[in-house]
A and B are shown apart, each in its own frame.
Chain A
Amino acid sequence: MSATTLVKPKAAGANGESSERTAEVPNPLAPFSEMWETGMRRWWNLTRHVMGIDRAPVGQTPRDAVWSNGKAVLYRYRSENPTVRPPLLLVMSLVSRSFILDLQPGNSFIERLVAEGFDVFLLDWGVPDEEEANNTLETYCDELLPQAVAKVNQMGGDNGVTVFGYCYGGLLTLLYAAGHPDDPIRNVVVMATPVDFTKMPTVMTGVGSDGIDPAHLMDASGNVPAESVRASFTLLTPTSDLSTVMDFWEHLDDDKFLSSYQAMTSWTRNHIPFPGATMVQTVEMFIEGNGFMTGDLMLGGRKLDLADIKAPFLNVIAERDHIVPPESTYGLDKLVGSKDATEMRLPAGHVGLIVGNGARKRSIPSMIGWMVEHSDIAK
């Protein structure tokens, strides 16, 4: 409501006719009215946030589960007319939920990919419990990923598959692609993927012989609990939680902000447990051994070499990434054996690569551009 109100007093004209004139008379109650409205909106938004009413929905792009093995599920996103070949398989990290790739309508990486004509598949690892505690890197890279890729390839008409790994999913993608050079991999894309673990933040690499014993991190289920995973991320920016609360309080009267806030916090505060056996292997192979850089990679009893990745390769680096600093990912394009290897540096954070305005305007179009360039377009 404005601070002044238009009133139309009736006045007699000089010739006796009545005429209307308008004048701006300040409404003395307007500021209070404004405060009342804002206050009510804040109160209502706070109530619905605390009570969980009308929560912002996430992961809304229509999809179908097309394959599963244990808790791992392969989803295919519905598309009227997928024009880009080969199909795209998104490989999610093991520590976070996959809906970050499909956050909200209008702010969704997957929605955009589908709109651009990609045939999008997502490999979701599920939430591990006792059954997955003994899952190793071999389980993911030698069993589940090859099966999922074969399924995607079959459903996509044997055109091969573009495998796209995000964060730890990128690490799995690298191990898989290096260990299965004969699989139908058309392109490999990794995004915000740690390679040089000596450049990773100390908080993330404080596990191992010099720090926390991985066994002490595991709970009774044999996994690293989700709270510990979350705590490690929080320690990277100790004041971030408080800042988030401040943002929330400051913009509480903004419905749109509240919706984005709820969607985002439901992801950042909702990690998943990390399978214990994979944790031990990660510590040995990467945190202590720095396997990608030293070339000392063993999987399923065989030696892996990144040089065996011959498919066109894209390494997407977020220059403001505080979880996987850019220094820890530089030079990956030189380690793979592909003749068509690209390093793409984007001015974004770890999540900002795929979420938010910057992603919509810069990061996502850049990645899509590379993938389209390395795909076939059906007429």
Chain B
Amino acid sequence: MAKQWREIYNEWEKAVAPGLQQFAASDGFRDFMAASAKVSSAFAAEFERTSRRWLHFWNLPAATDVRKLRQQVAAVDRELKGLKNLVFDVVAVVPAEAAPATNGKASAVSKPAAPKATASKTSTSKTSASKATASKATAKKPAAQKPAAAVEKS
């Protein structure tokens, strides 16, 4: 008895599924999806515009403002990362003796570890020195499988 309903469903699915799949893959359905995506996107944009105006009227920030700020922070972050990589490239090119305060390791370590070595020169990074030491240790012990004490961030 318990299987009977399942058999009925299986038969139904066998009959219906190919047609549904064909429909979902058809040009007509794609056009319908394109049109509905356009409409819903336009509706969402209009709603956002209206609610933002209303909130701004009362001098309140809207979600779009927060989103814009987050995007700006992300852009600054990306630029900072790019600059860090650039600084590293310069440090890597300069011979170890010529590069001041990098304790001669910067040119020896691989690329991703470099921003860390560069950061150790600055006073803003509190943990960079210990991280650099940890990195040195892991470089010497490649098969070490102990839990990482700290996550290295590039």
- Collect the chain B residues with CB atoms within 8 Å of residue A216's CB: 34, 37-38, 40-41
Q: Is A79 an interface residue (CB 8 A)?
A: yes
- Collect the chain B residues with CB atoms within 8 Å of residue A154's CB: 109-110, 112-113, 135, 138-139, 142
Question: Is there an interface contact between A212 and B33, defined as CB atoms closer than 8 Å?
Answer: yes
Separation of A155 and B109 alpha carbons in the complex (Å) = 12
A-B contact count (CB 8 A): 136
Which of A132, A134, A156, A218 is B142 in contact with, Cβ under 8 Å?
A156
Chain A residues touching B, range: 35 or more
Q: Is A335 an interface residue (CB 8 A)?
A: no
Separation of A98 and B73 alpha carbons in the complex (Å) = 27
Which residues between 114 and 153 of chain A lie within 8 Å of chain B, taking CB atoms? Answer: 119, 129-134, 143, 146-148, 150-151, 153
Interface of A is mostly: mixed
Q: Is A211 an interface residue (CB 8 A)?
A: yes
Q: Is A3 an interface residue (CB 8 A)?
A: no
Chain B residues touching A, range: 35 or more
Separation of A79 and B145 alpha carbons in the complex (Å) = 6
Interface segment, one of B17-25, B96-104, B119-127:
B17-25
Question: Is there an interface contact between B74 and A155, defined as CB atoms closer than 8 Å?
Answer: no
| Given known A66-B148, A221-B67, contact A130–B74 (CB-CB < 8 A) | yes
Which residues between 102 and 134 of chain B lie within 8 Å of chain A, taking CB atoms? Answer: 109-113
Quick one: closest B residue to A202, CB to CB? B25
Interface of B is mostly: helix
- Collect the chain A residues with CB atoms within 8 Å of residue B139's CB: 154-155
Q: Is A246 an interface residue (CB 8 A)?
A: yes
Quick one: closest B residue to A63, CB to CB? B147
Q: Is A78 an interface residue (CB 8 A)?
A: yes
| Given known A119-B143, A130-B74, A238-B20, contact A66–B151 (CB-CB < 8 A) | yes
| Given known A212-B33, A215-B41, contact A67–B112 (CB-CB < 8 A) | yes
Interface digits, A56-98 against B, CB 8 Å rule (1 contact, 0 not)? Answer: 0000000011111110010010111010000000000000000
Which of B25, B71, B145, B152 is A130 in contact with, Cβ under 8 Å?
B71
Q: Is A220 an interface residue (CB 8 A)?
A: yes
Which residues between 152 and 179 of chain A lie within 8 Å of chain B, taking CB atoms? Answer: 153-159
Quick one: closest B residue to A153, CB to CB? B110
Q: Is A377 an interface residue (CB 8 A)?
A: no
Interface digits, B1-14 against A, CB 8 Å rule (1 contact, 0 not)? Answer: 01000100100010
Question: Is there an interface contact between A69 and B154, defined as CB atoms closer than 8 Å?
Answer: yes
Separation of A148 and B151 alpha carbons in the complex (Å) = 13
Question: Is there an interface contact between A67 and B2, defined as CB atoms closer than 8 Å?
Answer: no
Question: Is there an interface contact between A147 and B41, defined as CB atoms closer than 8 Å?
Answer: no
Enumerate chain A interface residues (CB-CB to B < 8 A): 64-70, 73, 76, 78-80, 82, 119, 129-134, 143, 146-148, 150-151, 153-159, 201-203, 206, 211-213, 215-222, 235-239, 242-243, 246, 250
Listed from nearest, the 8 A-B pairs whose CB atoms lie closest are: A157-B142, A131-B74, A216-B37, A216-B41, A238-B20, A69-B154, A64-B148, A130-B70
9 new A-B pairs (CB below 8 Å) besides A67-B153, A154-B113?
A: A64-B147, A147-B112, A151-B152, A202-B26, A206-B33, A213-B34, A216-B40, A217-B41, A246-B9
